[in-house]
């Protein structure tokens, strides 16, 4: 990158100007990670100060049986496979009852596209879960699942969302996004929920008062330009609805799937993706590093490269752990997260699903850092 373009990009960021597609591509072309991290940290600090957010949550995957065979997925199983499973509603409720004493504020539910489960199973399970976890936010289903519910029920997404909300749904999940560019998507996705339906469903959810996350699966066959296109589509939708709470880059894991021959994104590429995403998203307050997919040390570094949220306590996130070759833990307690955040030099802030603050904690030892510092070399 020549000095003139570098200075121009710096000036845009410092002035709070919106960056363009060409700007995003130029940022990805730079290998000056300290410079990118410093710019992203400037924006991150402007929006969120020294706060690093987290929540206390659990994940529940009701079934891994799926009609699709997406190239990147290590979670799905076909009916009759030895390790295929589908929970009865009573089993899901029993697991939820075990979670209740842990003080969770969110239950995160994502599933395969089951070929024979009736549509009514899904609102019914939410209603029963809400009975045993009345104060816990139910964050459930991807836009891909909602699109599939339309097919198996004959109902519209509008009607489906109304019934799910009545059953206790408080947020969709952000999954099913992968990469929106069609040339990439047709090679990695084995279902027909693409940008048009993904955006339609989130737009509708936002119109009903739901606030949802948005994601991007990176580090497989896509190029940086595809990541920029993906982010700008979401940024435009956010201009329209204002309904996204957070953007979550998700690192592709290459164990036991059709793309296992590909190397995973390096730590440097991951940090660059966080930094450029933070710089492009001027209208979404939060960028989350999902520690399960990035490891604990890289997640701490991401907090210095634009991210301001670590997700939560999680507990057995099978969708990633079924493809996990580098051994992230399955569980982090509240105290674990507090230590992780403080060790990275930030002040822990516990939030709920809508990013409302529940509790603020003391930051790191005062003489370690007076203000959030950008990465320096």
Q: In 3-state terms, what secondary structure has residue 322? A: coil
**Residue-wise pLDDT tens digits, 80-127:** 999 999 999 999 999 999 988 888 999 999 999 999 999 999 999 999
Instruction: Average the pLDDT over 270-287 and give the result.
Output: 98
- CA distances to 346, 371, 372 from 368, rounded to whole Å, are 10, 9, 10
- Residue 218, pLDDT score: 98
The answer to whether the beta carbons of residues 351 and 334 sit under 8 Å apart is no
Residue carrying the six token digits 């395969």:
112
**Whose CA is closest to 59, among 100, 93, 106?**
106
- Residue 324, pLDDT score: 45
- Residue 103, pLDDT score: 87
Q: How confident is the model at residue 372 (pLDDT cuts 50, 70, 90)?
A: low
Counting beta carbons within 10 angstroms of the beta carbon of residue 267, is it exposed (0 to 12), middle (13 to 18) or buried (19 or more)?
Answer: middle
Cα–Cα distance for residue pair 24/299, rounded to 1 Å: 22
- Please state whether beta strands 347-351 and 244-251 pair in parallel, antiparallel, or not at all (unpaired): unpaired
Q: What is the pTM of this model?
A: 0.93
Over 60: is that where the pLDDT of 325 sits? no
- Residue 374, pLDDT score: 57
Mean of per-residue pLDDT scores for the chain:
93
pLDDT higher for 255 or 201?
A: 201
Q: How confident is the model at residue 315 (pLDDT cuts 50, 70, 90)?
A: low
**Tokens read off for 319:** 């969708």
The answer to whether the beta carbons of residues 106 and 129 sit under 8 Å apart is no
Instruction: Average the pLDDT over 320-334 and give the result.
Output: 58
Over 80: is that where the pLDDT of 329 sits? no
93 membership: H or E segment, kind and range: helix 89-99
Sorted by sequence, the CB contacts under 8 Å of residue 20 that are 6+ apart come out as none
Over 70: is that where the pLDDT of 373 sits? no
Instruction: Average the pLDDT over 73-78 and give the result.
Output: 95
- Residue 371, pLDDT score: 58
Counting beta carbons within 10 angstroms of the beta carbon of residue 196, is it exposed (0 to 12), middle (13 to 18) or buried (19 or more)?
Answer: exposed
- Residue 328, pLDDT score: 57
Q: How confident is the model at residue 347 (pLDDT cuts 50, 70, 90)?
A: very high
**Whose CA is closest to 125, among 90, 100, 175?**
90
- Residue 370, pLDDT score: 59
- Residue 241, pLDDT score: 98
**Residue-wise pLDDT tens digits, 173-185:** 999 999 999 999 9
> How large a percentage of the chain has pLDDT more than 70?
92
Over 70: is that where the pLDDT of 24 sits? yes
**Residue-wise pLDDT tens digits, 283-311:** 999 999 999 999 999 999 999 999 999 99
Cα–Cα distance for residue pair 77/127, rounded to 1 Å: 26
On whether the 21-362 domain is CATH 3.10.20.340, my answer is no
Cα–Cα distance for residue pair 335/356, rounded to 1 Å: 20
**Residue-wise pLDDT tens digits, 130-165:** 999 999 999 999 999 999 999 999 999 999 999 999
Sorted by sequence, the CB contacts under 8 Å of residue 326 that are 6+ apart come out as 295
| Angle subtended by helix axes 224-241 and 21-29, to nearest 10 | 140
Residue carrying the six token digits 């009545």:
166
Instruction: Average the pLDDT over 251-277 and give the result.
Output: 96
- CA distances to 88, 214, 216 from 92, rounded to whole Å, are 7, 26, 28
The answer to whether the beta carbons of residues 338 and 82 sit under 8 Å apart is no
Q: Could you tell me the residue ranges of all domains in the chain?
A: 21-362
- Residue 365, pLDDT score: 73
**Tokens read off for 245:** 């709470």
Where in the chain does DSSP place strands (E)?
A: 51-55, 57-60, 106-109, 137-140, 169-171, 212-218, 244-251, 286-287, 309-312, 347-351, 357-360
> How large a percentage of the chain has pLDDT more than 90?
88
**Whose CA is closest to 264, among 330, 331, 323, 182?**
323
- Please state whether beta strands 347-351 and 357-360 pair in parallel, antiparallel, or not at all (unpaired): antiparallel
Instruction: Average the pLDDT over 265-285 and give the result.
Output: 98
């Amino acid at each position: 990158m020549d000095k003139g373009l570098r200075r121009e990009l710096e000036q845009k960021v410092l002035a709070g100007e919106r960056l363009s597609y060409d700007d995003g591509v130029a940022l990805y072309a730079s290998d000056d990670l300290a410079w990118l991290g410093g710019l992203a940290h400037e924006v991150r600090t402007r929006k969120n100060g020294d706060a690093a957010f987290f929540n206390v949550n659990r994940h529940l995957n009701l079934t891994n049986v799926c009609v699709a065979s997406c190239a990147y997925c290590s979670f799905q199983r076909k009916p009759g496979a030895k390790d295929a499973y589908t929970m009865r509603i009573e089993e899901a409720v029993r697991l939820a009852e075990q979670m209740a004493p842990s003080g969770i504020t969110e239950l995160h539910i994502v599933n395969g596209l089951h070929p024979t489960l009736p549509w009514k199973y899904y609102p019914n399970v939410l209603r029963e879960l809400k009975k045993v976890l009345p104060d816990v936010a139910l964050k459930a289903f991807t836009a891909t699942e909602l699109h599939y519910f339309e097919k198996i029920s004959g109902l519209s997404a509008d009607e489906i969302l109304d019934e799910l909300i009545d059953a206790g749904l408080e947020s969709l999940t952000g999954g099913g996004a992968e990469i929106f560019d069609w040339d990439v998507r047709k090679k990695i996705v084995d279902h027909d929920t693409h940008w048009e339906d993904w955006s339609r469903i989130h737009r509708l959810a936002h119109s009903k008062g739901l606030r949802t996350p948005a994601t991007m699966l990176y580090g497989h066959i896509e190029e940086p330009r595809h990541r920029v296109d993906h982010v700008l589509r979401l940024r435009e939708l956010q201009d329209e609805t204002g309904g996204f709470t957070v953007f979550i880059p998700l690192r592709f894991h290459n164990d036991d799937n059709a793309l296992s021959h590909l190397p995973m994104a390096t730590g440097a590429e991951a940090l660059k993706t966080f930094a450029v995403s933070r710089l492009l998203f001027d209208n979404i307050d939060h960028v989350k590093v999902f520690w399960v997919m990035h490891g604990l040390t890289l997640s701490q570094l991401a907090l210095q490269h634009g991210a301001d949220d670590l997700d939560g306590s999680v507990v057995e996130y099978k969708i990633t752990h079924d493809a996990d070759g580098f051994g992230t833990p399955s569980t982090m307690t509240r105290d674990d997260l507090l230590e992780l955040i403080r060790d990275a030099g930030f002040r822990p802030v516990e939030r709920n699903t809508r990013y409302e603050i529940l509790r603020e904690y003391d930051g790191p030892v005062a003489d370690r850092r007076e203000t959030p510092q950008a990465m320096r070399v």
